[in-house]
Structure 1
């Protein structure tokens, strides 16, 4: 009868039994991980934290612990344990309740993969039959491995390896016997026996596990006693992020979801390797943040985050009505009735504060003559010296700062919550910067993103300014206008009149007066000097000569969108709005010899078994490849005649050429003058370019262009060399705010405050690029740009731009496209043209 019953039950449930063949090719849900190019973890995405391990990677102590408590006869039964079944049946008969499930590890695997946890008889029957099938299909080791990797063990950890990371921050092979026993105890009830949520119950369960291990001979008496008395050391550990790049991680997440869908992207165990390196990404983030802090400190201190004690009853009442303080903080304020808080209350408050960048939350405990005692989030008490506070003159508005403080109590008061930051090992008073910033670095050869930061802190704002913020570009538009001029008959020695312009607009009954910044006019200037010194009126005269449509159409070559280009003379002053990424791509055309590359940030993707499922296929800016492909196309050589190296170059996919190599070279070389200037300082003819601060890097073959918009709302710097194009932008998210100007803080002097006056691209964005390059310069090619065919040089007179036979300070060598060099020599008595103010004056002299 019993045998007949079993057979009958089998045929009854057979239609509902799943195919266990799927267990041979099981795909456990594993989170997506994002890495730098050099293998450092950036981020992890997915609902379940799981780290699949093989049987060989399971510690023997863990195996013994699980078997001792979950299924001591695992290696003896055939999937269903008859002894366990009889024991469970006797409990049912004696109590009338199903208190024991008699489930073996194999049956639990069947339930975990194919069934629900409902305590009903039919589920148990199905579980038993599936277990029998599993035992026929898989080895005991394979079954145990599935069991160890599948179940949820609390705090979003799935599988024993993830539990080790979550609870102890270490791998399985690094855990002690006590810690392994704790994890083994979680299989019964992860929520109730959690060592973080319920440490005492977890300890009791651990002792049961250890006792059973001792009874089965898996551990010695000494090992048992040591582990039995060990303290509970579990605490919550997030994934060990090695490199901070949250904006890049979010870009990857969006791309992967678009490519595979959420379910597959998050749970398939993809490993995504980006194009950035840890060193360059960290250097860029550090440079961006330090630059914003430098700006913020120049402009003054805006005060503490909040006051924690010292309130009157009326002030407390207004806090309750205003809702400006969270309920926990308000409750503590009321409990202390205006008196200083105790240490634990301060620590609890600081632990609740958000994390922004490298800022550290602190509370002022006491203020002395020229120092202050503060408590940090960690509970540590430190003293801020005067050198950490003396910068904090009051912020009045964007253009004005208050009187520099003389005593610490002019800056801080006991009970204030403030921010501090670590500067070269010393803590310093800080504040969350007012403006925002972004940086994009590209490899101009193939468009690979070398670094990208979309703001000061992802916790402050997830808005990725590097990719999404279209901001007016100001004078960084000028290299593209000058490239158009060089492509239409102008040369770097062409003289253009740097003189004021006034144009009456009868419709508006007003005059348009574009101005230089600073408002200095020098008369006729060579184009090289005009672009290096960023002369606004020269750009206006160029666009008038060329025509607005000619220049606008030329800008489209650099990948800019038609919708973002204003077809008016204001285009010459940078009225167009582009993102930092678009600017980096466009400037890369000059850096790579005239090709428009496509930016990309994912190098390759691996599945959970390490198989490569995607690799980027960029197009390249390759002069040698272009030359070889041209020779084959013109019939100068056949493919068969190419060497192996030449064949690789011939097969290289080329980016489209958008300007000639000659034009790219001339603009890149002209922008070197933005850094190094020209003339002779010894003979009072020397001049600086707007990017002269980059001279600190002492590299001759760097190029760059600063940019500042009207009312100083945006500051830019684009820096180039053969191996990198990097663009920094600084500005307020709120377009009503401007970057402003600063006066000298007498507490600091010129030694500690190098920048005074109006903010601009050269003072507000360029210093970030210099700081970044100091850290990463050895990674890049800073050799001279190759001299293209069709480029020649001639000695010219620096004042007139004509040929010169002099070899003194008054002359220099200039580059020209062959056939455009001057044909006349300057005469000693020749004078420079007059400065004209009328808009109909002769604008140019060649």
Structure 2
């Protein structure tokens, strides 16, 4: 009895001494413990997200993936699984679980692992404030912090912090992000088996996750489910069902709903520029761009279609690789002396799939292995093991590529295209079939009404059968960029065929020679000097002797025919090179360069010789489309921008774009009335010898658009500001009229007849569109730039290798001469702007114009319409086909009537004496 009493006293003394020691230790460590007050207002480090203007997710930037959720948004089964596994007495203890702590201490004494002593609250303390070092002093700090946290926060608040903070593998933090990474779903959409997998991750996320270690993840899931069963959270039946479920996790990226990687990178760079890398990546900014999903998808479809069309008409470059390389070598190079033809082993599914694992795939392009070659068809296996039949109609285009100028003969049989074991790229065509009947294999977007009706018929069982056609990864590059002429907002942008293939943004970074896309600006300078659309200019060969170099410069038309005296409107519509040179001479080279800077072109980008008139300047597509927008908006230079606003993770606007608007005194159509603008050069076009510096002429703005706004600012409103008025409204109107004739202009009344170089645009059946083709020397670059009143669009195509030409093609006799869908002839001959760059512009505008009413550019008050004689440009009283209505400034309208006896004299027939600095390159 005495010994028991002494033992009890000893235990009490030890407890008191221990408590005293802990109190003394707490006093000593109190000043070193971090404040936990910050837990009341946690700002989660969440990644930056980029959205379209209409809210579709484009991209996400940031090393850590996190989707913060409230405790009410956490599924109860997940909470139960987590409590059963990590801290079953969480709602009963005060931050430290005495039972669990005692068990852990006893385990240490006897040398056995009795489980961890950390509660969920202690883990919150460690995750937010401490490191993972295995020391007693860290554990004691953890205990003190846990007790303090329990005094500040409710149990639900602590659990919410834990479930959003915990690291769960593959750079996912918190259960909202983990559900997306492992299952590609919202957390609320998972099953019990999947919740159990996630609940088992905190112990060792790098080794227990179902992607890296599916076997260990399954074993850990079983432990979690067993504990849930023991704790009464689930029934035996639920346990058995979840425990027998397969591991279904695989790595998922962020749920991108709109592909616009070049736009995303531009927005990303802007955000980093504004806020710095660390803040941009961790503050959960939502960046809203100016692009719309519909237009971005239309641009993507148009560019991809055109690039593949160009690439395929130039021929098939052959297989990417071969898994029967010796057999392939014999077929292509012939047998060596004494060598016998190899009989290749059949390709099995496992072999094909293994080979394809090392082949890069691209959006819309799927690598496949040819496993059988028939007379006019072939069989291929894709990376997922799916076997497909390639029919003759889907491979017969593949005549050999020889070089950019030449193609081989069209194939007659599948063996002319494939060999067994070839690794090729395919593009998908899908058709829906039933158990009884199937529609004919065809692209979904060209299926007939009967086929579509068959697809929609209900059936007992339906299966999607995938059809594919031969394709290849294009080598040519291309871009499309569309902006609003009203404020410069970028509505769609693609910087190349595929961001995965090349991250170089050709829309903003590629300076390419613009060819005849420069001519509208040359003609605008001539209009500014006093020319009219009816002025006659001599379309005749130029022979210019240059004494300094000893050669004759002979700029030529393309095609090389000359019409003699020709009106300015028709010269632009037919893209007459020599007329552009003559106009430049009339304006003067220095004056012309100064004038072109009004459109935002840098002087350093403009060559100081007459080749400037033919497009030897190198500009980016974004610069070009911005210049063209000035003709659509009445003569204003807008500033392109892609980020409309940035919000923080609470929805506060921290940045708001402040675009410049193309408006005069009344800008109410665009929103809030702006304050009085600073002085602008309203009479800038009166002095063609002086360049207009758009920086000096910019209107004042009350807010710096590049200055981030604070979330607690009383006002995030940015006043509207006016864009710089660079050319007169009359000039812009007359030039838009001239470019209207590029598409709609034609005259077959005289021989030879002609039509505008952009006549293919008539398929849009819109009379409010205008544009200009462009092709450089040797067809290294092809352009089409055009606009409606509310949208300006530039399309470019060419090779990144400046030495390569777009080349030419011959008729592929395996294909119809005329496309049955479009009615257009198969493209043959030399590639140039109208053939190579205008088709995607047309396809894009066909979608974009659906939401834009037909709207003509408003005729200025000072513009009059007068009937003139086509041949002379003078007034006429006739009303037959030899006449037309033409627009003039009132003060420059013709006053003389044409007479029968009058003979039109050639003007500008005399050659100037100014020498050129370099030979014409076009």
Instruction: Identify the residue that residue 354 of structure 2 maps to in structure 1.
Output: 348
Q: CA RMSD in A?
A: 2.4
Of 658-667 and 303-312, deviating more is 303-312
Instruction: Identify the residue that residue 21 of structure 2 maps to in structure 1.
Output: 5
1:702 aligns with 2:759: no
Q: Distance in 2 between matches of 1:338 and 1:111?
A: 62
State the 1:781 CA deviation: 4.3
2:527 to 486, 491, 498: 486
Q: Distance in 1 between matches of 2:643 and 2:329?
A: 57
Counterparts of residues 598-747 of structure 1 (less than 5 Å): 598-623=639-664, 625=666, 652-679=720-747, 681=748, 686-747=753-814
1:413 aligns with 2:419: yes
1:39 aligns with 2:55: yes
**CA separation of 1:709/1:412 partners in 2, compared to 1, >3 Å: closer, same or farther?**
same
1:464 to 502, 505, 516: 505
SS in 2 for 1:248: helix
State the 1:228 CA deviation: 2.2
Q: Distance in 1 between matches of 2:728 and 2:491?
A: 25
**CA separation of 1:410/1:824 partners in 2, compared to 1, >3 Å: closer, same or farther?**
same
Give TM-score scaled by structure 1 length. 0.92
Counterparts of residues 518-597 of structure 1 (less than 5 Å): 518-597=559-638
1:817 aligns with 2:823: no
Contact 2:406 2:808 in 1 (8 A): yes
Structure 2 gaps of 5+ residues are 1-16, 334-341, 430-442, 445-466, 680-717, 820-824, 914-922
**CA separation of 1:742/1:78 partners in 2, compared to 1, >3 Å: closer, same or farther?**
same
1:103 aligns with 2:118: yes
Q: Distance in 1 between matches of 2:678 and 2:123?
A: 67
**CA separation of 1:632/1:231 partners in 2, compared to 1, >3 Å: closer, same or farther?**
closer
**CA separation of 1:337/1:271 partners in 2, compared to 1, >3 Å: closer, same or farther?**
farther
SS in 2 for 1:421: strand
Q: Distance in 2 between matches of 1:380 and 1:535?
A: 55
Q: Distance in 1 between matches of 2:303 and 2:642?
A: 20
Q: Distance in 2 between matches of 1:517 and 1:120?
A: 82
Contact 1:256 1:265 in 2 (8 A): yes
Q: Distance in 1 between matches of 2:843 and 2:47?
A: 36
1:775 aligns with 2:855: no
Contact 2:539 2:576 in 1 (8 A): yes
1:114 to 118, 126, 129: 129
Of 776-785 and 479-488, deviating more is 776-785
Counterparts of residues 494-533 of structure 1 (less than 5 Å): 494-533=535-574
Q: Distance in 2 between matches of 1:811 and 1:615?
A: 53
SS in 1 for 2:839: helix
1:141 aligns with 2:141: no
**CA separation of 1:836/1:477 partners in 2, compared to 1, >3 Å: closer, same or farther?**
closer
Contact 1:690 1:762 in 2 (8 A): yes
Instruction: Identify the residue that residue 180 of structure 1 maps to in structure 2.
Output: 195
1:437 to 466, 470, 478: 478
Instruction: Identify the residue that residue 200 of structure 1 maps to in structure 2.
Output: 215
**CA separation of 1:380/1:474 partners in 2, compared to 1, >3 Å: closer, same or farther?**
same
Of 666-675 and 366-375, deviating more is 366-375
Q: Distance in 1 between matches of 2:187 and 2:356?
A: 33
Instruction: Identify the residue that residue 97 of structure 2 maps to in structure 1.
Output: 81
1:16 aligns with 2:25: no
State the 1:835 CA deviation: 8.8
1:465-495 residue CA offsets vs partner (Å, 9 max, x unmatched):
1010000000000000111111111000000
Q: Distance in 1 between matches of 2:901 and 2:814?
A: 53
1:765 aligns with 2:837: yes
SS in 2 for 1:366: strand
Instruction: Identify the residue that residue 806 of structure 1 maps to in structure 2.
Output: 878
Q: Distance in 2 between matches of 1:623 and 1:396?
A: 56
**CA separation of 1:306/1:586 partners in 2, compared to 1, >3 Å: closer, same or farther?**
same
Q: Distance in 2 between matches of 1:382 and 1:9?
A: 73
**CA separation of 1:77/1:840 partners in 2, compared to 1, >3 Å: closer, same or farther?**
closer
State the 1:98 CA deviation: 6.9
Instruction: Identify the residue that residue 638 of structure 1 maps to in structure 2.
Output: none
1:129-172 residue CA offsets vs partner (Å, 9 max, x unmatched):
00111011111101000000111111111111111111111111
Q: Distance in 2 between matches of 1:255 and 1:52?
A: 25
Contact 1:355 1:459 in 2 (8 A): no
Contact 1:192 1:198 in 2 (8 A): yes
Structure 1 gaps of 5+ residues are 319-335, 635-649, 842-846
**CA separation of 1:348/1:782 partners in 2, compared to 1, >3 Å: closer, same or farther?**
farther
Q: Distance in 1 between matches of 2:567 and 2:215?
A: 81
State the 1:279 CA deviation: 1.1
State the 1:837 CA deviation: 6.6
2:345 to 304, 319, 339: 339
1:186-235 residue CA offsets vs partner (Å, 9 max, x unmatched):
11111222122222222222222222222222222222222222222111
Contact 1:59 1:172 in 2 (8 A): yes
Contact 1:373 1:383 in 2 (8 A): yes
Instruction: Identify the residue that residue 832 of structure 1 maps to in structure 2.
Output: 904
Contact 1:500 1:837 in 2 (8 A): no
Instruction: Identify the residue that residue 828 of structure 2 maps to in structure 1.
Output: 756
Which aligned runs of 4 or more in structure 1 are off by greater than 4 angstroms?
312-315, 626-634, 682-686, 834-838
